Copies of this chain bind each other. A is one copy, B any other.
Amino acid sequence: MSEIRKDPLSYTWVVLATERAKRPHAFRKRTEIKERRAKPRPCPLCEEAGLPIKEYAIWPGVIDKKTGTWKTRVLPNKYPALRPGLELAQTEMDAIFHLLSGVGGHEVIVETPRHEDVLSVMPLDQMEAMIRTYCQRYRYWRSSDPRIAYVLIFKNYGLAAGASLEHPHSQLVATPIIPPRIFEELTEAKKYYELNKECIYCKLIEVEKKAEISRVILENDTMFALCPFASRFPCEVSILPKRHSAAFEDITQREVSDLAKILSGVFKGVDAVLGDPPYNYMIHVAPLRTPGLLYYHWHIEIIPRLTMPAGFEWGTDIYINVVSPEEAARALREAE
Residues of A at the B interface (CB closer than 8 Å) are 4-18, 20-21, 23, 25-31, 33, 81, 94-97, 150, 152, 154-156, 160-163, 171, 173, 175, 177, 179-182, 184-185, 188-189, 192, 200-201, 203-204, 207, 210-211, 228-232, 234-235, 274-275, 277-278, 280-284, 301, 303, 306-312, 314-324, 327
B323 touches A230 (CB 8 A): no
Instruction: Sample 14 A-B pairs with CB under 8 A, ordered by A number.
Output: A8-B200, A9-B185, A9-B228, A14-B318, A16-B321, A26-B322, A30-B277, A81-B312, A94-B210, A97-B229, A154-B311, A161-B310, A179-B317, A301-B314
Copies of this subunit:
2
Q: How far is B310's CA from A173's CA once the two chains are assembled, in angstroms?
A: 13
Give the distance to chain B from A129, nearest Cβ to Cβ, in Å: 20
Give the secondary structure class of A's interface. mixed
Please pick, from B18, B184, B207, B322, the residue contacting A10 in the complex, using a CB distance under 8 A: B184
Please pick, from B18, B185, B234, the residue contacting A322 in the complex, using a CB distance under 8 A: B18
A207 touches B96 (CB 8 A): yes
Enumerate chain B residues within 8 angstroms of A23, measured Cβ to Cβ: 322
B207 touches A322 (CB 8 A): no
Given known A21-B323, A160-B30, A321-B16, contact A311–B9 (CB-CB < 8 A):
no
Please pick, from B7, B14, B211, the residue contacting A94 in the complex, using a CB distance under 8 A: B211
A181 touches B316 (CB 8 A): yes
A315 touches B229 (CB 8 A): no
Q: How far is B7's CA from A284's CA once the two chains are assembled, in angstroms?
A: 16
Given known A162-B309, A275-B30, contact A301–B320 (CB-CB < 8 A):
no
Q: How far is B314's CA from A155's CA once the two chains are assembled, in angstroms?
A: 11
Q: How far is B23's CA from A42's CA once the two chains are assembled, in angstroms?
A: 39
Enumerate chain B residues within 8 angstroms of A175, measured Cβ to Cβ: 316, 318
Q: How far is B27's CA from A277's CA once the two chains are assembled, in angstroms?
A: 10
Q: How far is B154's CA from A318's CA once the two chains are assembled, in angstroms?
A: 14
B282 touches A311 (CB 8 A): yes
A156 touches B310 (CB 8 A): yes
Q: How far is B283's CA from A315's CA once the two chains are assembled, in angstroms?
A: 8
Give the distance to chain B from A171, nearest Cβ to Cβ, in Å: 7
Give the distance to chain B from A27, nearest Cβ to Cβ, in Å: 5
Enumerate chain B residues within 8 angstroms of A232, measured Cβ to Cβ: 12, 14
Enumerate chain B residues within 8 angstroms of A282, measured Cβ to Cβ: 311, 314-315
Please pick, from B13, B161, B322, the residue contacting A318 in the complex, using a CB distance under 8 A: B13
B9 touches A189 (CB 8 A): yes
Please pick, from B29, B95, B154, B179, the residue contacting A274 in the complex, using a CB distance under 8 A: B29
Q: How far is B314's CA from A278's CA once the two chains are assembled, in angstroms?
A: 14
